[in-house]
Structure 1
Amino acid sequence: MLTPTVVSNSTVRRSSRTPAANARTSTRCSNCAMRHLCMPQGLTVDELPKLEALICNARSVRRGDFVYRAGDPFENLFVARSGSLKTVMAHRDGREQVTALRLAGDPLGLDGISTGMHTASAVALEDSSVCIIPYPALKHMCRETGAMQDRLHRLMSEQIIRESSQMMVLGSLSADERVAAFLLDVSERNGQRGYSHAEFNLRMTREDMGSYLGMTLETVSRTLSRFQKRGLIDAQGKLIRIIDLESLRRL
């Protein structure tokens, strides 16, 4: 069994004063394959080094480990550099609700800005890495750099839109439509990252999918099996291959 750990505020503090951490290769936004998803456009040649100096080293997060937990003090934003993660919130009775799937290039931790405390937990679905961005330093840079401030506002807006769309999925779509919408969303997001639209490893378990889509594990499994019988997809464990994209869109 994996023992969950947390990569959060103490990780940043250690990295600033530990020689071994300082000796590690620094995170370079200009060399990152996901820079088109999270970096602001229009940075000058003087502003880009400032942004790269702001970001702490990318930290590895093993599958099952926490980047932060609900209730942790908010000090940093994070960006998934590689791999995939989920965010979860706990109901009063202890049940967990999956609230988002985060892929490489996606921000994490924006929930903490409002109250100074994280309201959700972020957990790695596979061995991943995250860039750590101290929020006080980011705010200072936003005051100096309009492009950085615009990008932060866009990231917040995009998250609001995504969460609103998810509420519509849960509130108005059938089981088939929910699963189809989810697969199409993952397909599109993979394409944005330069990966295949039609074939991808879905690191979420069927149980996680059910939690995210407001369905039982059994309903998710039956729906995927029904899609496979209809020739819409081929699902072999975590490997999903979309065979008939247009028919999936018409559901």
Structure 2
Amino acid sequence: MKSLCLTAGLPLEEMAQLSDIVRPAVTLAKREALAAQGTAFDSLYAVRTGSLKQVIVTDSDENLVTALWLPGELIGLDAIGKEVYPGSLVALETSTVCEIPYDKLDELCGRSPEVRWRIQRCLSHEMHDERLRLHLLLHRTAEVRLACFLVSISERFRHRGYSPHHFRLAMSRSDMASYLGLTPETVGRTLVKYQRQNLLLSRGREFRILDLERMKRLAEANGRRQRQRCSS
């Protein structure tokens, strides 16, 4: 729980109370589901090791990857309102998670303004990240979308004390494509383009950003698709 933003900096008494309601860690095998889409919501989950994705099956039977969680992040915040998990929670690799029963967490929030504020902050971050992602997908080129994604992953690893330049990401190219609203072929071509530009080296699940500042500038570019003007 040390890396979890919910507990970072909490007074010892509140941290002990929070630890008391957390259930023992559960280990998930690669591709194992933690919860299925539509399952009744009863707990949040804190990722200890590994990574998980959320997959939503639409009415037209399309599988969409809508979320990615790394160690220290909370799963299930988007399930609180409708009281069901909106998508299946699937391990991308061997992972461990800690279950936090929501009814007990809610009781603790009533006793501890500090814990309640931490939950509200996590919800706020979740909303901000979702709106930023929607903005990213709006008419942006594949090159800019993928740069934004890689910079975001780089920052998330840096916050956890890992290298922002060299990391292993368990997502497949197909999952990355679904998450960014692209095709796997487009993701593959764009990664090859980055390598030709000496921006990135990628092999399987291993990524090494060679020029992080240039990657950030690319991610911050307008990057909108240019519409062809009809000649008069």
Q: TM-score, normalised by structure 2?
A: 0.91
Measured after TM superposition, the shift of residue 100 of structure 1 is: 1.2
Question: Runs of 5+ in structure 1 lacking a partner?
Answer: 1-28
AA aligned to 1:38 is L
User: Equivalent of 1:41, from 3, 6, 9?
Assistant: 9
AA aligned to 2:154 is S
Q: Secondary structure at the match of 2:145?
A: helix
User: Aligned equivalents of 1:166 and 1:173: distance in 2?
Assistant: 11
AA aligned to 2:70 is L
AA aligned to 2:214 is S
Matched, 1:158 2:125: yes
Question: Runs of 5+ in structure 2 lacking a partner?
Answer: 219-232
AA aligned to 1:39 is T
User: Aligned equivalents of 1:166 and 1:182: distance in 2?
Assistant: 9
AA aligned to 2:153 is V
User: Equivalent of 1:119, from 86, 92, 96?
Assistant: 86
Q: Secondary structure at the match of 1:73?
A: coil
1:6 alignment partner in structure 2: none
Matched-pair contact (CA < 8 Å) for 1:40–1:148? no
Per-residue CA deviations over 1:62-90 (Å, capped at 9, x if unaligned) read 11011111110111111111111111111
User: Equivalent of 1:227, from 194, 202, 206?
Assistant: 194
Matched, 1:214 2:186: no
1:12 alignment partner in structure 2: none
Matched-pair contact (CA < 8 Å) for 2:14–2:115? no
CA RMSD of aligned residues (A): 1.1
Measured after TM superposition, the shift of residue 47 of structure 1 is: 2.4
Matched, 1:53 2:53: no
2:154 alignment partner in structure 1: 187
AA aligned to 2:188 is S
Q: TM-score, normalised by structure 1?
A: 0.84
Measured after TM superposition, the shift of residue 48 of structure 1 is: 2.2
1:95 alignment partner in structure 2: 62
Q: Secondary structure at the match of 2:138?
A: helix
User: Aligned equivalents of 1:46 and 1:182: distance in 2?
Assistant: 38
Per-residue CA deviations over 1:109-132 (Å, capped at 9, x if unaligned) read 112211221111111100001110
Runs of 4+ in 1 over 6 A off after TM superposition: none
Q: Which moved more, 1:132-141 or 1:103-112?
A: 103-112
Matched-pair contact (CA < 8 Å) for 2:7–2:15? no
Matched-pair contact (CA < 8 Å) for 1:64–1:125? yes
Count of aligned positions:
218
